[in-house]
Amino acid sequence: MSGETTGKVQSRASRMLRRHAVAALVALSKSYPKVLTPCFEQIYATIKRLAEEANEMSHMERITATEAMIILSNEHKDYKFQADFIVKVETPLVSVLSMPELERALSSAETFMSFIGMTEYPKDEAQDEEQGSHRSQLLRCSSTLMALIKHSWAPDNMDEAIKGDFYVVQGPGGKPYCRNPATPFLAVVLPRLCQLMRVYNGMWTKEARSKVHSAFVTVYDMQEGEKNLVLGTVYLFFVSYSGIVSFHLKIKSFMVSFQEQW
């Protein structure tokens, strides 16, 4: 798949192939981790090389591939190795969550809605791209965090946990417990994550919804597919391949994707 893209232009077939490839890597990592673990360094080196080369992997492909590597890292059954690996692959996430503009955006629901493009209709493509970049970064962060929370763990076997330095006793007379290798990293980003959740939930208040641009008022509504699922009626979804996506649909897609991840 390397070298198939130039700039931002990709054929639909190429995009689908690449998505299926990284999804298959995750599936294989879950079902046959012991088969892939001997190739851990080789797989990681390949993913890292493709991620560093321009236009070789999309952001979501990188996240999915990293998810597979986190799953495989569990097979090492070594707390220090797993914790260090998580910090190494997730460091870009910290830089995004530490952005000054995001810190300002999270000061209130209104500033956050402006940050993702809900309070003003885009005047031009440049403004749409900037707000779209903000939404994309937030989705990447939430996807990465959820992959980490779901797929990083200590060994179930007590002997392996003790040998791998997962099993510790805290303080004199303290109760022993198994450490999760993702905890040190998550402890760093948890305050910003909680702040993001608080502000996002604040978007549903009456005051916040009054600030939404009239073109985006209906993004709060339930999707047609969900309505028909509840009602038990048939819903035919037609996908447009024209490549043109409305501003309204972009906002709606962001909200749906963000909520489904949590």
Nearest one of 46, 66, 65 to 2, comparing CA atoms: 46
Q: What is the mean pLDDT of residues 157-185?
A: 87
Query: pLDDT, tens digit, for every residue of 79-113?
Result: 999 999 999 988 888 888 888 999 999 999 999 99
The neighbouring-strand residues paired with 167 are 178
pLDDT of residue 84: 95
**Amino acid identity at 24:** A
pLDDT of residue 2: 37
Q: Over the chain, what is the mean pLDDT?
A: 84
pLDDT confidence bin for 11, thresholds 50/70/90: confident
Single pTM value for the model: 0.79
Domain boundaries, the chain: 15-76, 79-232+243-261
pLDDT of residue 246: 81
Give the whole-angstrom CA distance, residue 173 versus residue 83.
Answer: 26
pLDDT confidence bin for 123, thresholds 50/70/90: confident
Q: What is the mean pLDDT of residues 114-140?
A: 87
Query: pLDDT, tens digit, for every residue of 14-35?
Result: 778 888 889 999 999 999 999 9
CB 97 within 8 A of CB 141: yes
Give the whole-angstrom CA distance, residue 262 versus residue 260.
Answer: 5
Q: What is the mean pLDDT of residues 201-219?
A: 92
Query: Residue 242 pLDDT > 80, yes or no?
Result: no
Give the whole-angstrom CA distance, residue 248 versus residue 254.
Answer: 10
